[in-house]
Amino acid sequence: KKMSLYSKYLKEEEEEFNSLEEVAQKKRELEEKKDLLSQKKSTIVASIKRIEKEEEEIENRELSLEKREEKTQDSQEKKSIAQERREVEDKRREIEEKRWQEEDKVKGIEEERQKLEIEYQKILNREEDLSSKAEKEELMKEREVLEDDLKQVRKVKEPLQKDLSSINQRKEGIEKEIQSVDNKIQSIKKDEASIQERERSSDDSEERKKAETERREIEDKRRSAEEEKWQKEDELEKVIQEEEEINRIIEREKRISDRIKKIDSIVKGKKDASEEDVAQEEKDDSSHDDTPLDEKETKDDDLESWFSEPKEKEEAKQKDEIKKEDKEEPPKEESEKDEVIEEVEQEEGKEAKDDSSVEQEEINEFDMVAQYVKNNSPSPDLDLVKIKDNQDFFNFMLKLAKEEKEKNK
């Protein structure tokens, strides 16, 4: 007895591969097998076309003999034509049996291809699992390195961070001292300008000499103040460098911590996704029971309602929420109420139209899967129930149905 499509889907042995290299090798093998089957099928289809052409010629010959037999009145000729017709009929039977054999080969290839598709899909799933596992392992290795770096950064940062307050105080003090020296230099510049004015305007040599002596003293004070300012600026530059170094260490600690949090979030997301997959598999397994088929709802309209009912309930829920909001709103002027009602009705119409489009698309996909199951499954009643119970099985059958539709275009 042939197994249903769902039984094949559940019971097909899944080979365990422990590396992406093994998965890639298996994928190549399956792809080569699929290509080989396609080539074999193409050869057989070409052979069938040649047989059909030969069959058409035999049929035309038989039809010609029938016409000749109808026209002739000679019994001996009728007998001769009848014998020739029988030979043609025997030849036609041989050709038909030959075609049947070739068509059985095509059917066998399609069944083998279907098995390969199921196996190929499982290989793809395994590849995804291994890729996710490898990525997780790489992330965890990176996390270990980051944890070590974080410990070192914090070890260096702790004593420096304590000095940060002192450094800020030193920085503020030096900036004030530089400002004070700047003020002093500005005052000296004013005195220097005043003395130079006296020097230029004096005609008395003694007075000029006195002014020049004072100017030199002022210039020396200015030089001394400038030297003091430069020294303070050098001190400030060193303090700023110390502050920037501490801030770089603090920023590095933040970057490392953020990256660790990001890794934890990614790994947790993969773990949650994996747990959801396991839960879904357990749910699917529990739905695969021995309940008699006559106790299950297998009518097409019941199956289609599986898609439409959630949408109808959601639409009803949205309308109830809108009505509830309308009741809670404070009284408005009559014209404003009319505008609100019109906006709500337009929004409801738009949502209903969008929901209808989505619902129609889902029903069309269901029809496609249902038709594929009816055409290809030895146990269509069981498989029609299972496409309702098992979403993963439905998605897999939808993929095969779309491929068949594309192939038949």
pLDDT tens per residue across span 112-162? 888 888 888 887 877 777 777 777 888 888 888 998 988 888 888 777 777
DSSP letters spanning 248-271:
HHHHHHHHHHHHHHHHHHHHHHHH
- What is the sign, positive or negative, of the torsion defined by CA atoms of 130, 136, 139, 145? negative
Dist CA 93 CA 36 (whole Å) = 31
Dist CA 382 CA 399 (whole Å) = 19
Dist CA 233 CA 225 (whole Å) = 12
At 407, is the pLDDT very low, low, confident or very high (cuts 50, 70, 90)?
A: confident
192-248 pLDDT tens trace: 888 888 878 877 888 888 888 888 898 999 999 999 999 999 999 998 988 888 888
At 102, is the pLDDT very low, low, confident or very high (cuts 50, 70, 90)?
A: very high
Query: What's the confidence (pLDDT) of residue 206?
Result: 84
309 pLDDT exceeds 50? no
Task: Look at residues 289, 294, 263, 296 and name the one whose alpha carbon lies nearest to residue 137.
Answer: 263
Q: Phi then psi for 292, rounded to 5 degrees?
A: -55, 145
Is-contact 213 274, C-beta < 8 A? Answer: no
Residue whose tokens read 């390195």? 145
Tell me the mean pLDDT in the region 335-343. 50
Query: What's the confidence (pLDDT) of residue 100?
Result: 94
**Highest averaged pLDDT of the listed ranges 166-180, 303-317, 341-355, 387-401:** 166-180
At 98, is the pLDDT very low, low, confident or very high (cuts 50, 70, 90)?
A: very high
Residue type, 135: E
Query: What's the confidence (pLDDT) of residue 284?
Result: 47
* 293 DSSP assignment: G
Residue type, 117: E
DSSP letters spanning 322-359:
HHHHHHHSPP--HHHHHHHHHHHHHHHHHHHHHHHHHH
Query: What's the confidence (pLDDT) of residue 328?
Result: 45
Dist CA 61 CA 95 (whole Å) = 14
Query: What's the confidence (pLDDT) of residue 90?
Result: 93
Dist CA 332 CA 399 (whole Å) = 54
Query: What's the confidence (pLDDT) of residue 347?
Result: 57
Tell me the mean pLDDT in the region 82-96. 91
Specify the length of the chain in residues: 409
Q: What percentage of the chain exceeds 90 in pLDDT?
A: 21
329 pLDDT exceeds 80? no
Tell me the mean pLDDT in the region 40-54. 93
Query: What's the confidence (pLDDT) of residue 304?
Result: 41
At residue 298's C-alpha, the angle toward residues 293 and 301, to 5°, is: 170
* 16 DSSP assignment: P
Better pLDDT: 387 or 148: 148
3 pLDDT exceeds 60? no
What mean pLDDT value characterizes the chain?
A: 76
Tell me the mean pLDDT in the region 285-303. 42
Q: Provide CB contacts within 8 A for 139, sequence distance 6+.
A: 263, 266, 267
Query: What's the confidence (pLDDT) of residue 198?
Result: 82
Dist CA 279 CA 273 (whole Å) = 10
Tell me the C-alpha to C-alpha distance, in Å, between residue 382 and each of 43, 316, 350.
35, 33, 38
Better pLDDT: 368 or 135: 368
Query: What's the confidence (pLDDT) of residue 270?
Result: 57
Q: Provide CB contacts within 8 A for 401, sequence distance 6+.
A: 368, 369, 371, 372
34 pLDDT exceeds 50? yes
- What is the sign, positive or negative, of the torsion defined by CA atoms of 346, 348, 353, 354? positive
105 pLDDT exceeds 90? yes
Among the residue ranges 80-94, 159-173, 226-240, 307-321, the one predicted with the least confidence is 307-321
Tell me the mean pLDDT in the region 341-365. 56
Task: Look at residues 20, 223, 260 and name the one whose alpha carbon lies nearest to residue 134.
Answer: 20
Query: What's the confidence (pLDDT) of residue 311?
Result: 43
